[in-house]
């Protein structure tokens, strides 16, 4: 069956549009990978230049901000375990919910972050409403809408400190395994900083 000229033209237009969409996706992914590469290099530089005395809060905020940039997100949190109260505390927050969320406390076993802290396994949730583990408690309190999230544990050989969480992507692309890998590297750097700060504190106690 012969294809008339108009059909051929339409087919070519459709193929051209498909190629445009594909190229946009490739360019988007390339930009994300370049952002990630630069962010990881900056993280490595920061950790290499770490002195014996450093500002832990500033360091963690810098690392969290770099992780968000690499993952194309503007909202993330560092959540630490309060061993005395057995709660999770939002110790640092980057994004629109900072004022409402900073120092907010939740039970140790609540939501995705509670799961990550308990299992020490990172988690990527593309759609939180399809997750039975996700808790909307924090969203309801601060008036925020979480769509997707990633969470990675903070721990050393003998201690769990908490977790780092990234929420919602700015682009149309979902979080993927590359984003989660970036967050895991960030979590490793933050864990090293927390352990170093703890070691310095213990050394100071012994010397007094």
Q: What is the mean pLDDT of residues 88-98?
A: 92
Q: Which residues contact 78 (CB under 8 A, 6 or more apart)?
A: 60, 64, 90, 91, 92, 93, 154, 162, 164, 165, 190
What 95-102 contacts at long range (C-beta under 8 Å, 24+ apart), as own/partner pairs, is 95/68, 95/167, 96/144, 97/142, 97/144, 100/141, 100/142, 100/143, 100/144, 101/77, 101/138, 101/142
Residue 91 lies in a domain: yes
- At residue 208, the pLDDT reads 43
Structure-block tokens of residue 165: 């969480």
81-85, 136-140, 182-186 — most confident range: 81-85
Residue 137 lies in a domain: yes
Name the percent of the chain lying above pLDDT 90.
36
Q: SS3 of 95, please?
A: coil
**Average pLDDT score, the chain:** 83
Higher pLDDT, 16 or 163: 163
Model confidence at 28: pLDDT above 70: no
Note the pTM of the prediction, 2 decimals: 0.78
> What is the distance between the terminal CA atoms of the chain, rounded to a whole angstrom?
93
Reported confidence tier of residue 126, pLDDT bands at 50, 70, 90: very high
HSE, side-chain direction, 13 A CA sphere, residue 111: 23
- At residue 142, the pLDDT reads 86
Q: Which helix (H) or strand (E) holds 167?
A: strand 160-167
Q: Which tens digits make up the pLDDT trace of 37-81?
A: 777 777 777 777 766 667 888 888 888 888 888 888 899 999 999
Higher pLDDT, 22 or 124: 124
What are the CA-CA distances from residue 171 to residues 8, 24, 39, 71 (Å)? 34, 12, 18, 10
Residue 2 lies in a domain: no
Residue 120 lies in a domain: yes
Task: State the total domains in the chain.
Answer: 1
Name the percent of the chain lying above pLDDT 70.
81
Residue 5 lies in a domain: no
Residue 4 lies in a domain: no
- At residue 205, the pLDDT reads 43
Model confidence at 172: pLDDT above 70: no
**Cβ atoms 152, 122 nearer than 8 A:** yes
**Cβ atoms 155, 191 nearer than 8 A:** yes
Pick the range with the lowest mean pLDDT from 20-29, 30-39, 194-203: 20-29
Q: Which tens digits make up the pLDDT trace of 2-27?
A: 556 677 667 777 777 766 766 666 66
CATH number, domain with residue 122: 3.30.450.40
Q: What is the mean pLDDT of residues 69-97?
A: 91
Domain span including residue 119:
10-207
Residue 1 lies in a domain: no
Model confidence at 153: pLDDT above 80: yes
């Amino acid at each position: 069956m012969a294809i008339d000229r108009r059909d051929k033209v339409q087919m070519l237009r459709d193929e051209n549009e498909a190629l445009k969409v594909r190229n946009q996706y490739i360019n988007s992914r390339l930009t994300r990978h370049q952002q990630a590469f630069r962010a990881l290099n900056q993280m490595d530089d920061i950790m290499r230049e770490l002195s014996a005395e450093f500002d832990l809060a500033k360091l963690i905020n810098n690392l969290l901000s770099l992780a968000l940039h690499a993952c194309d997100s503007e909202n993330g949190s560092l959540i630490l375990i309060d061993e005395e109260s057995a709660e999770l505390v939002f110790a640092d927050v980057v994004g629109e919910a900072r004022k409402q969320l900073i120092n907010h406390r939740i039970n140790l076993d609540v939501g995705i972050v509670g799961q990550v802290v308990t299992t020490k396994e990172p988690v990527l949730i593309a759609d939180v409403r399809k997750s039975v583990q996700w808790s909307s408690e924090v969203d309801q309190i601060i008036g925020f809408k979480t769509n997707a999230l990633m969470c990675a544990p903070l721990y050393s050989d003998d201690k769990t400190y908490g977790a780092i969480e990234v929420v919602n992507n700015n682009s149309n692309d979902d979080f993927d395994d590359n984003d989660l890998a970036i967050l895991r590297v960030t979590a490793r750097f933050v864990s090293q900083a927390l352990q170093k700060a703890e070691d310095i504190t213990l050394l100071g106690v012994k010397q007094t």
